[in-house]
Amino acid sequence: MTAVPRSLIVNADDFGQSAGINRGVIEAYERGIVTSASVMVCWPAAAAAASYARAHPWLSVGLHFDLGEWTFRDGGWHTIYMWVDPDDSSAVEREARMQLERYRDLLGHDPTHLDSHQHIHRRAGVHEALERIAAELQVPLRHCSSVHHCGDFYGQSQTGEPLPHLIAATTLAAMLRGLPAGVTELGCHPGYADDVESMYRAERRIELRTLCANEIRLVIADEQIRLVSFCDVHGR
């Protein structure tokens, strides 16, 4: 019986947020299994990320829509930064289109896919704005396309408790062996995050080490998984 083909997009979020994260994403692309990245265009390091992407067109680059970042401490969620209020739908729409134009200025083309920081686009009001833009661009929006999104490769609980075993090579290998048929996007966050304030810092180095592990390459080959990017899937 012929096996049903399985394709894997490995997408690194937060490209452009800091020099250290850029370094980690690039290392995971050049030495590991990352095939795509999503860039945060509002940060000073976004220009360097875009410069690298323009020089490496095989790296598929999308827009990582960024409304803000929140951290969980002392029993509640606290704002680290916020560009606009997620409950103000008009402001969200303007911000989304401003970030799209900023992306075009930096990269010189449209994004190959859309997603968002801390999955804020799954929130009502934000979702509708991103869905409209994705439809206009005819690109996939995370969680809302034929590409199955896998977010299991993440080293914390929803409230920030460390769960490093979830981003170990043995765990990722098991995920790959259980990959469903069709196209799957594996979200990841490789980087060196000493230069950014975030609740997800130490885990980025662990992710990077796992994504570059020879064991993972061997599993992909053994399982006959095809590594692809959003460019490959949508012919861009």
- Supply the residues annotated as catalytic: 13
| Rounded-to-10 torsion of CA 222, 224, 229, 234 | -170
For 151, the token pair is 């977010």
Paired residues of 78 in beta bridges: 71
* Main-chain dihedrals φ then ψ at residue 218, nearest 5 degrees: -65, -40
Q: Distance between CA 226 and CA 228 in Å, rounded?
A: 6
**Of the candidates 117, 109, 112, which has an alpha carbon nearest to the alpha carbon of residue 140?**
112
> What secondary structure letter does DSSP report for 117?
G
DSSP result, 140-208: -BTTSSSSEEE----SB-TT--B-GGGGSHHHHHHHHHTPPSEEEEEEE--S-GGGS--S--HHHHHHH
124 Cβ partners below 8 Å, 6+ apart? none
For 111, the token pair is 């994004």
Q: How many CB atoms lie within 10 A of CB 161?
A: 9
